[in-house]
Amino acid sequence: MHARNNIFLIGFMGAGKSTIARYLHRKYGMKWLEMDKEIERKQGMSISEIFRLKGEEYFRGLETDLLLSLEGKEHTVVSCGGGVPLRDCNVEAMKKSGVIVFLTARPETILQRVKDSHDRPLLEGHKDVAYIAELLAGRQKKYEAAAELLAATDGRSAEEIGEEIYRRVGEIGEKQA
């Protein structure tokens, strides 16, 4: 791989970021970082508790701090929280050290993937297609503008998606070498 040899997976909640990060870790031995898990570990609180006790803005600050602290990391696949690309400074930090890949999924697919979990405060009480579609529409442009690659996930296996991403990121590296 090339100088920007990290992969940042972005996209809406339930787009499959963690699943694909795990695949690339297992198959290609990339180091794997889950932003939400890392924030929870450092704060000693769940994401839901951070939102409830400190508020969303505080959480967004923790995301930016974590991204900036990743400088110097290599061969790492980062599963970003769904809101990470909303801040331009986050996008700049990611572009410096890696390739940003946007995982897309239809609202119906997202609902199926998130409906049984309760660790996403933004979706609690709003587990319906209309709400997901609206929140997604508000973010779509930010996701697209941040990303160098786009990979659709609806109806596809982790293997198919992971292999496609690894190959295409490699091609970017060859062009830049």
The residues that touch ligand S3P, with contacts defined as CB under 6 A, are 13, 17, 36, 47, 81-83, 120-122
Cα separation, 105 vs 14, in Å, equals 8
Tokens representing 81? 């929280």
Q: How far is CA 29 from CA 24, 49, 80, 126, in A?
A: 7, 32, 19, 37
CA-wise closest residue to 6 among 160, 150, 153, 148: 148
Cβ proximity to ligand S3P, 5 vs 18, nearer residue: 18
Q: Which residues have C-beta within 8 Å of that of residue 79, sequence separation ≥ 6? A: 9, 17, 18, 20, 21, 32, 33, 34, 35, 36
Q: How far is the CB of 128 from ligand S3P (least distance, A)?
A: 16
Q: How far is the CB of 170 from ligand S3P (least distance, A)?
A: 25
Q: How far is the CB of 163 from ligand S3P (least distance, A)?
A: 22
Cβ proximity to ligand S3P, 1 vs 80, nearer residue: 80
First to last CA, the chain: 9
Q: How far is the CB of 142 from ligand S3P (least distance, A)?
A: 11
Work out the number of other CB atoms within 10 angstroms of the CB of residue 34.
Answer: 18
Cβ proximity to ligand S3P, 4 vs 17, nearer residue: 17
Work out the number of other CB atoms within 10 angstroms of the CB of residue 118.
Answer: 10
Cβ proximity to ligand S3P, 83 vs 98, nearer residue: 83
Cβ proximity to ligand S3P, 27 vs 37, nearer residue: 37
**Residue with the CB atom nearest ligand S3P in the bound state:** 82
Degrees, nearest 5: CA angle 110-11-21: 95
Q: How far is the CB of 3 from ligand S3P (least distance, A)?
A: 27
